[in-house]
Structure 1
Amino acid sequence: MTPRRLCRPSKLRLTRSMDEAYAAAHRVVAEWPLEPTRIERVSQSENIVFRVDCTDDTIYVLRLHRPGYHSFDELVSEQAWTSALRDAGLGAPRALYTSAGERYALTRVGDEQRYAGVLEWVDGDTMLDLIDSSIDDDYVAQRYMELGRLIAALHNQATGWSLPAGFCRHHLDHHGLMGDQPFWGRFWESGALNDDEQQWCASLRERIYPLLEAYGKRPKTYSLIHADLHPGNVIVHGTNLHIIDFDDSGFGWHLYDLAVAVMPYRNDSDFEANRDALLEGYRELRPLDEADAAMLPLFIVVRALAQIGWIAARPEFDGDSLHSTARAYAQINAEQVIRDLERSNLGANLA
């Protein structure tokens, strides 16, 4: 999960000297068949990410992965999926193997051991930047239609792909999102919440959990998902769309990907138009029943709560603004959304 406007990063409080990170980057990049001329840090959220310019004018991305977030097998599985997505014609990260033929190398940043990986650099603008720089509502809606088609294509590949032996990623199901130990942390215990807010979030969790459990993990609605496919994680170069940042990818509901996509603009006056454009684009390539689409508001609330947990688990990140926005959205929308679904015959509607 990456911070944003809801896509844009806030100011980072770096808990470790960037000198250590740069030293680690310079050491570990020697494991790859590269001749760097410049190594520059470009971002830090889950990972510390560097741009690596080389003597032959090629550019790469060096990622120092957050320790403890994924196992080695999970990181290898991420690359297996992105390779399969490329084989299916989607723009996805292409990894570069080390000189020894390995996918990753180990390095240390201070007293932390991190896996390092190298990807090819992709030129272009983020879809988020293009949307934010436009004042044309029709242009923005068109971008959301493109995003909907892109998400549908990803889900089509995921549901038709036979997982290779040893493939493993986390599950963002009712346990992984609303269980006792959610993947992104116990959001209802966030120190940014007061006592009343913590109790309210705990109550929300208890009510959302059975709704997600009842929704079920049907093959047509639950598979591998990106889990962070907002406009800031799509690179646009001409007519080509390239998906980046698969750190959060795992098994989950397709609606979660759609909820993530529309969250950045959920408080905008044209939110409904952009949401409808997203769903229209999605349905061009993949069916989405009305009963399933009716669950989208719940998954937007789930995403807002997950962001609270994500921020609380990362004290190095200054996410006060993002935290407040996610909390406010959940407070405004959650009660009505959950009440409506509790009153509905959820199982019958989704049979």
Structure 2
Amino acid sequence: MEGAEAERLFGPAAREAAKAFPVDDPRLSLVTVSENVTFRLTDGRTGQDWVLRLHRPGYNSEAELEAERVWTSALRAAGLAAPEPLATRDGRAFVPQAVAGTGEVRLAGVTRWIEGEVLDDFLESPSRTGERPLWFHRLGALVARTHLQSEAWTPPPGFARTRLDADGLMGPAPRWGPFWDHAALTAEDRDLVLAARKIVHGRLSALPQDPAVFGLIHADLHPGNLLVRGDDLAIIDFDDAAFGWRMYDIAVALTHQQASPDFAEVRDAFLAGYREVRDLPEAEAAQLPLFLLVRSLVQLGWLHERPEIDPGEWLEPRIAQIRLQARALLAETG
């Protein structure tokens, strides 16, 4: 969806929703249209910036969105940089907002703007090519810190987030949609993907779900959801946070790097950074290729369910990667 069209559809609703929050002379500018529609909200009196999100209807319930805020608060208490929510003038976390342009009602929420450069953009500079292993080492350590926090933390009663178990990822109605039905797949691709899905579901079903390997994860910690701040990284966009395998979280961080010539170096740097903070047995790390395929498949499902999102040049290389990985999996299992 083009920016002008998104502004036309969602801008009036965002401006109306902003009135519910203690922000004076609110000024909004569109940031992105993805899972949610996100605006930069500036206080015209103080200059303070906030993030206003119009949440996608039917994706996360209000209880699940509240749970997201509970976890980010716990992460901040543990010393990690994560979004800080802003309550409405009457103390609510979210307000329902009608979107006349689409006929929807979306929940609107606001968090403090975190300054920084998106890691994806930061690493695109040719002058920083040699820094990629360094930053993925730092990212590995950061992911490990989130896993340590969630492993030791007990969510409060009523805490609600989805489960990314075998069915949640590879079942008949997976969390992010039937990836095997994406229009870009040929009939041969579809058969290949369905055969791979059956094997992957079986392997996931056999994996343990004890707290050392399965727990609350961000589930979308790719470099587009990390901000560079000096030598540190801040995490944003906890919309997909769920209970799942920690190796899935690791695969998310590395999936987009697979086509890079330095993938092995970046992967090893990430795992080294992770292991400096938290134990990762070799048997668990060996599951990485499986979860890389899982991540690519669920992203295809995500796109299938969101035709308004233009994948640009990303889609065909990813499908080619899926073909290679799925064929290797089928060859491995005979």
Deviations 1:137-194 (A, max 9, x none): 5411010000000000000001110110100111111010100100000111222212
2:12 aligns with one of 16, 19, 23: 23
Is the aligned partner of 1:222 residue 2:214? yes
Give 2:63's aligned residue: 73
CA RMSD of aligned residues (A): 1.7
Give 1:302's aligned residue: 294
Task: Single out whichever of 112-121 and 314-323 deviates more from structure 2.
Answer: 314-323
**Counterparts of 1:76-87 in structure 2 under 5 Å?**
76-87=66-77
Using CA pairs below 8 Å that are at least 6 residues apart, which structure has the higher relative contact order?
1
Deviations 1:73-124 (A, max 9, x none): 0000011000000001001000000011111011011210000000101111
Task: Single out whichever of 175-184 and 312-321 deviates more from structure 2.
Answer: 312-321
- The Cα of 1:265 is off from its aligned counterpart by 1.5
2:160 aligns with one of 165, 168, 175: 168
2:241 aligns with one of 224, 228, 249: 249
Give 1:89's aligned residue: 79
In structure 2, distance between residues paired with 1:92 and 1:37: 23
1:107 aligns with one of 97, 101, 116: 97
In structure 1, distance between residues paired with 2:312 and 2:130: 32
Is the aligned partner of 1:202 residue 2:191? no
Tell me the amino acid that sits aligned with residue 17 of structure 2: V
> Normalized against structure 2, the TM-score is what?
0.95
Q: Which runs of 5+ in 2 are unaligned?
A: none
Give 2:51's aligned residue: 61
In structure 1, distance between residues paired with 2:257 and 2:189: 24
Give 2:24's aligned residue: 35
Whether the 8 Å CA contact 1:61–1:121 is kept in 2: the answer is yes
Give 1:269's aligned residue: 261
Is the aligned partner of 1:293 residue 2:285? yes
Q: Which runs of 5+ in 1 are unaligned?
A: 1-11, 344-351
Give 1:334's aligned residue: 326
- The Cα of 1:127 is off from its aligned counterpart by 1.4
Change (3 A) 1:199 1:14: farther
In structure 1, distance between residues paired with 2:93 and 2:9: 23
Aligned to 1:39, the other structure's residue is in SS state: strand
Change (3 A) 1:16 1:72: farther
Change (3 A) 1:115 1:37: closer
Aligned to 1:265, the other structure's residue is in SS state: coil
Tell me the amino acid that sits aligned with residue 39 of structure 1: L
Whether the 8 Å CA contact 1:298–1:334 is kept in 2: the answer is no
Whether the 8 Å CA contact 2:6–2:33 is kept in 1: the answer is no
Is the aligned partner of 1:279 residue 2:271? yes
Whether the 8 Å CA contact 2:214–2:243 is kept in 1: the answer is yes
**Counterparts of 1:129-208 in structure 2 under 5 Å?**
129-208=121-200
Is the aligned partner of 1:49 residue 2:38? yes
- The Cα of 1:15 is off from its aligned counterpart by 11
Change (3 A) 1:87 1:19: same
In structure 1, distance between residues paired with 2:14 and 2:303: 26
Change (3 A) 1:240 1:148: same
Whether the 8 Å CA contact 2:192–2:327 is kept in 1: the answer is no
Tell me the amino acid that sits aligned with residue 233 of structure 1: N
Deviations 1:290-327 (A, max 9, x none): 11111101100111111110100001112253332221
- The Cα of 1:129 is off from its aligned counterpart by 1.6
> Normalized against structure 1, the TM-score is what?
0.91
Whether the 8 Å CA contact 1:298–1:338 is kept in 2: the answer is no
Change (3 A) 1:286 1:277: same
In structure 1, distance between residues paired with 2:26 and 2:91: 23
Change (3 A) 1:198 1:13: farther
In structure 1, distance between residues paired with 2:163 and 2:133: 31
In structure 1, distance between residues paired with 2:215 and 2:26: 41
- The Cα of 1:21 is off from its aligned counterpart by 1.0
In structure 2, distance between residues paired with 1:28 and 1:320: 31
Tell me the amino acid that sits aligned with residue 241 of structure 2: S
Question: What percent identity do the matched residue pairs reach?
Answer: 40
